């Protein structure tokens, strides 16, 4: 191998792993890597973002969309601390990702040199940590080894983020290190005996329910999941913000099991006698605060299938634990032969009927977000990617948009199970840059949007949303950190504190970034505004102005306050 500096060898290692796009904010701590990007600019591009939080969210979205680790580069202390929100999201969402952090030169180590941090402590690997593995590369000859291990660790078992720190002097040192081949993750198949037990539990069930989600799925596995559900006529719900795991248009789809769950769906899961949790983490959001499945001992028979050994038995005393990668599990389940007579056909039909009823909106004037979502889905292509951050506005998206299953277009939902505000804009920009032929729609709250709204400049700079695929951001402006206001009205009615927002003119703001923009105040204005946005030759923002009282698709702030005051009066 010819000699080159380690910074170049690192970029070559990424190219060998199939990476064509990396996100980041530059720093003087890793100039040698930036020079490697320049050297290999025919094969890989570095997208310079406007804040590391945005860059890390973009890399996280890349991990979700491609199934391979998303790549982010940031500088020391301030860069790494800014990026931590994306690493946390990758951890909670089980997304493969590698964050590379510039580090002080080795001869300055441990002096608290300029911006020096100990990344092992900061990202503290563990089952509640920020990262799966954190390391610092001290030997230029071992760069390929560390990168390969980072990819294996990010992808295997429960996928997640890895952090590699890069001392400045190591990056400029010469090396003849070879380029290692592309790694494929080792996959775990379910044990045959456990599958037999699962079949016996299904045969004995009267009211079974499947909750599917998590990461590590591929199109084949999603197809196998559908066949498994069809063979056994099982109602399938999708875990929180993994709503695209099972086709939402399929007659066996029962709804999303997450924040703002449909009350009848919650009741159905409580009533089930067998719950098969397939790939989902049994976290607070998917279990309705550990109430749909009582922790630690649920009343339902519980089967938990997950790729990570550490997730199995983490909270629940399940009746059957099955460790398997999601690329394999459903392929094994679809081979289980179902008996000719199934006891739960009515139960499954009722779940589908409940879902249809839940899709009938209560009309709201003058601007009806349910109608907005239905119009949106009618006008954008079927393979559109929908993105959002955190806030009550996302409730309309999750309730009224039907995400196609993974087998059709891969992931169509980019949304943080970590509940990180600010995720929606950067993840949309990343999706538009990675898949220029696909339309990407971001739905953001006014609070959510401005956490990372500066990444509109990244979209403009790199030409996102200018080709066949459009990039649209819909800002739902209720002048409030509405979710928090809702909790305030529930707990401390009438006492608004810290939740009012003072907003800029979003249309003028977007135009200043070079985006097309328009304001929408009434339902009838939305369709023409969206049509114009979709016809524009640039990304577009639609500013939807709403009354603060419109707090969710099921109730109003006034109703929440009245109920809380009545409760207080006794
Ligand atoms: C980074 C981050 N900071 C704070 C929160 C807490 N939080 C959750 S929702 C929310 C308000 C969201 O406001 P907005 O985006 O305007 O949406 P709305 O709830 O009004 O629909 C806040 C502050 C969070 N989830 N993430």
Spacing, Cα 424 to ligand 1 middle (Å): 12
**Ligand 1 neighbourhood includes 475 CB (under 6 angstroms):** no
How many alpha carbons lie under 13 Å from residue 164 in its C-beta half-sphere? 27
pLDDT at 73: 98
Spacing, Cα 419 to ligand 1 middle (Å): 8
Structure tokens at 491: 């707990």
Structure tokens at 371: 């109608």
What is the DSSP code (8-state) at residue 191? P
Q: Cα(227)–Cα(246) distance, rounded to whole angstroms?
A: 11
Where are the alpha helices (H) located in 67-213, listed in sequence order?
A: 77-92, 119-123, 143-155, 168-172, 192-204
**Ligand 1 neighbourhood includes 179 CB (under 6 angstroms):** no
Averaged pLDDT for residues 292-307: 97
Query: pLDDT tens, 554-566?
Result: 999 999 999 999 9
Q: Is residue 331 scored above 90 in pLDDT?
A: yes
**Ligand 1 neighbourhood includes 420 CB (under 6 angstroms):** yes
Q: Is residue 129 scored above 90 in pLDDT?
A: no
Length of the chain in residues, anyone? Answer: 570
Rounded to 5 degrees, φ, ψ at 367 are -120, 115
**Ligand 1 neighbourhood includes 390 CB (under 6 angstroms):** yes
CA dist 462 to 19, 20, 34, 410, 456, Å?
A: 18, 15, 17, 24, 10
Instruction: Specify the residue with its C-alpha closest to ligand 1, atom 9.
Output: 391
Is residue 1 very low, low, confident or very high in pLDDT (cuts 50, 70, 90)?
A: confident
Spacing, Cα 89 to ligand 1 middle (Å): 15
Q: Is residue 137 scored above 90 in pLDDT?
A: yes
Q: Residue 274, Cα to own-chain centre: how many angstroms?
A: 27
Spacing, Cα 421 to ligand 1 middle (Å): 6
Neighbours of 271 (CB within 10 A): 12
Structure tokens at 25: 């904010």
Averaged pLDDT for residues 19-41: 98
Is residue 118 very low, low, confident or very high in pLDDT (cuts 50, 70, 90)?
A: very high
Is residue 483 very low, low, confident or very high in pLDDT (cuts 50, 70, 90)?
A: very high
Q: Is residue 126 scored above 90 in pLDDT?
A: no
* C-beta of residue 238 within 8 angstroms of C-beta of residue 256: yes
pLDDT at 246: 98
Spacing, Cα 245 to ligand 1 middle (Å): 25
Spacing, Cα 234 to ligand 1 middle (Å): 35
Kind and range of the H or E element at 101? strand 97-103
SS3 382: coil
Is residue 153 very low, low, confident or very high in pLDDT (cuts 50, 70, 90)?
A: very high
Q: Cα(198)–Cα(187) distance, rounded to whole angstroms?
A: 20
Instruction: Specify the residue with its C-alpha closest to ligand 1, atom 4.
Output: 421
Contacts of 426 (CB under 8 A, 6+ apart): 49, 53, 54, 55, 57, 58, 61, 452, 455, 458
Averaged pLDDT for residues 9-26: 98
Tell which atom from ligand 1 comes closest to the C-alpha of 483: 19
Spacing, Cα 503 to ligand 1 middle (Å): 15
Query: pLDDT tens, 532-555?
Result: 999 999 999 999 999 999 999 999
Q: Cα(371)–Cα(238) distance, rounded to whole angstroms?
A: 23
**Ligand 1 neighbourhood includes 419 CB (under 6 angstroms):** yes
pLDDT higher for 570 or 135?
135
Which position has the token pair 């009550």?
392
Instruction: Specify the residue with its C-alpha closest to ligand 1, atom 13.
Output: 481
Spacing, Cα 386 to ligand 1 middle (Å): 18
Q: Cα(377)–Cα(394) distance, rounded to whole angstroms?
A: 15
Is residue 128 very low, low, confident or very high in pLDDT (cuts 50, 70, 90)?
A: confident
- Cα dihedral value 445, 446, 452, 458, nearest 10: 90
Query: pLDDT tens, 222-276?
Result: 999 999 999 999 999 999 999 999 999 999 999 999 988 999 999 999 999 999 9
**Ligand 1 neighbourhood includes 445 CB (under 6 angstroms):** yes
* C-beta of residue 303 within 8 angstroms of C-beta of residue 319: yes
pLDDT at 179: 97
Tell which atom from ligand 1 comes closest to the C-alpha of 394: 21
Spacing, Cα 114 to ligand 1 middle (Å): 33
Q: Is residue 16 scored above 90 in pLDDT?
A: yes
Query: pLDDT tens, 358-394?
Result: 999 999 999 999 999 999 999 999 999 999 999 999 9
Where are the alpha helices (H) located in 392-505, listed in sequence order?
A: 394-400, 406-409, 424-434, 446-452, 456-461, 482-491
DSSP for 198-257 reads HHHHHHH-SSEEEEE--S---HHHHHHHHHHHHHHT--EEEETT-TTSS-TTSTTEEEEE
Pocket test for ligand 1, best of 372, 447, 487 (most atoms within 8 A of CB): 447
Instruction: Specify the residue with its C-alpha closest to ligand 1, atom 1.
Output: 421
Spacing, Cα 451 to ligand 1 middle (Å): 10
Tell which atom from ligand 1 comes closest to the C-alpha of 451: 1
pLDDT at 394: 97
Pocket test for ligand 1, best of 448, 450, 451 (most atoms within 8 A of CB): 448
Contacts of 525 (CB under 8 A, 6+ apart): none
pLDDT at 570: 85
Spacing, Cα 505 to ligand 1 middle (Å): 20
Q: Is residue 125 scored above 90 in pLDDT?
A: no
Neighbours of 317 (CB within 10 A): 11
CA dist 22 to 6, 79, 345, 548, 557, Å?
A: 17, 15, 49, 39, 43
SS3 64: helix
**Ligand 1 neighbourhood includes 482 CB (under 6 angstroms):** yes
**Ligand 1 neighbourhood includes 478 CB (under 6 angstroms):** yes
Give the residue among 404, 349, 339, 326 at the shortest CA–CA distance from 234. 349
Q: Cα(114)–Cα(26) distance, rounded to whole angstroms?
A: 16
In angstroms and rounded to an integer, the radius of gyration of the C-alpha atoms of the chain is 24
Q: What is the mean pLDDT of the chain?
A: 97
SS3 471: strand
Q: Is residue 143 scored above 90 in pLDDT?
A: yes
Tell which atom from ligand 1 comes closest to the C-alpha of 501: 16
What is the DSSP code (8-state) at residue 159? -
Q: Is the pTM of this model over 0.95?
A: yes
CA dist 413 to 83, 295, 385, 418, 553, Å?
A: 22, 29, 6, 14, 19
By percentage, how much of the chain surpasses pLDDT 90?
98
Spacing, Cα 198 to ligand 1 middle (Å): 40
Query: pLDDT tens, 336-350?
Result: 999 999 999 999 999
**Ligand 1 neighbourhood includes 480 CB (under 6 angstroms):** yes
For strands 320-323 and 385-388, give the pairing: unpaired
**Ligand 1 neighbourhood includes 102 CB (under 6 angstroms):** no
**Ligand 1 neighbourhood includes 481 CB (under 6 angstroms):** yes
**Ligand 1 neighbourhood includes 368 CB (under 6 angstroms):** no
**Ligand 1 neighbourhood includes 424 CB (under 6 angstroms):** no
Q: Cα(367)–Cα(540) distance, rounded to whole angstroms?
A: 19
Query: pLDDT tens, 424-447?
Result: 999 999 999 999 999 999 999 999
Which position has the token pair 């390929």?
144
By percentage, how much of the chain surpasses pLDDT 70?
100
């Amino acid at each position: 191998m010819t000699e080159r500096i380690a910074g170049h060898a690192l970029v070559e290692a990424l190219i060998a792993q199939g990476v064509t796009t990396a996100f980041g904010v530059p720093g003087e701590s890793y100039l040698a890597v930036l020079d490697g990007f320049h050297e290999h600019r025919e094969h890989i591009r570095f997208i310079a973002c406007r804040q590391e939080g945005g860059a890390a969210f973009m890399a996280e979205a890349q991990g979700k969309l491609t199934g391979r680790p998303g790549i982010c580069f940031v500088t020391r202390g301030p860069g790494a601390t800014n990026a931590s929100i994306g690493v946390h999201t990758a951890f909670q969402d089980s997304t493969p990702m590698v964050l590379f952090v510039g580090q002080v030169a080795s001869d300055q180590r441990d002096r608290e040199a300029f911006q020096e941090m100990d990344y092992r402590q900061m990202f503290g690997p563990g089952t509640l940590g920020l990262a799966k593995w954190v390391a610092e590369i001290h030997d230029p000859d071992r760069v390929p080894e560390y990168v390969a291990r980072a990819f294996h660790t990010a992808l295997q078992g429960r996928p997640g983020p890895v952090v590699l720190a890069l001392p400045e002097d190591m990056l400029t040192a010469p090396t003849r290190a070879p380029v290692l081949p592309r790694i494929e993750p080792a996959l775990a198949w379910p044990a045959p005996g456990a599958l037999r037990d699962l079949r016996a539990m299904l045969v004995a069930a009267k009211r079974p329910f499947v909750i599917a989600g998590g990461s590590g799925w591929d199109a084949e596995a999603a197809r196998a999941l559908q066949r498994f559900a069809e063979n056994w006529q099982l109602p399938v719900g999708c875990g929180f913000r993994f709503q695209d795991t099972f086709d939402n248009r399929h007659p066996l789809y029962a709804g999303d099991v997450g924040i703002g769950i449909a009350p009848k769906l919650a009741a159905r899961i409580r009533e089930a006698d067998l719950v098969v949790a397939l790939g989902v983490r049994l976290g607070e959001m998917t279990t309705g605060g550990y109430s749909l499945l009582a922790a630690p001992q649920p009343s339902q028979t519980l089967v938990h299938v997950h790729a990570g050994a550490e997730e199995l038995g983490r909270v629940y005393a399940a009746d059957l634990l099955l460790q398997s990668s999601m690329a394999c599990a459903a392929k094994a389940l679809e081979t289980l032969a179902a008996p000719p007579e199934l006891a739960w056909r009515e139960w499954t039909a009722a779940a589908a009927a409940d879902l249809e009823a839940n899709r009938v909106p209560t009309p709201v004037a003058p601007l009806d977000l349910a109608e907005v979502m239905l119009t949106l889905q009618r006008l954008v292509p079927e393979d559109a990617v929908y993105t959002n951050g955190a806030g009550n506005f996302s409730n309309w998206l999750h309730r009224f948009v039907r995400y196609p299953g993974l087998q059709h277009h891969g992931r169509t939902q980019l949304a943080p199970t970590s509940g990180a505000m600010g995720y929606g804009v950067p993840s949309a920009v990343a999706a538009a840059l990675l898949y220029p032929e696909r339309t990407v729609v971001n739905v953001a709250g006014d609070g959510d949007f401005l956490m990372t709204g500066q990444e509109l400049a990244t979209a403009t700079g790199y030409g996102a949303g200018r080709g066949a695929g459009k990039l649209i951001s819909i800002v739902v402006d209720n002048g409030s950190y509405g979710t928090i206001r809702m909790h305030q009205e529930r707990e401390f009615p009438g006492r608004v504190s810290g939740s009012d927002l003072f907003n800029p003119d979003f249309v003028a703001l977007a135009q200043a970034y070079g985006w097309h923009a328009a304001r929408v105040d009434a339902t009838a204005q939305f369709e023409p505004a969206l049509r114009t946005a979709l016809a524009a030759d640039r990304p577009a923002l639609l500013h939807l102005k709403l009354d603060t009282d419109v707090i969710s698709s099921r109730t109003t702030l006034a109703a929440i306050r009245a109920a809380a005051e009545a409760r207080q009066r006794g």
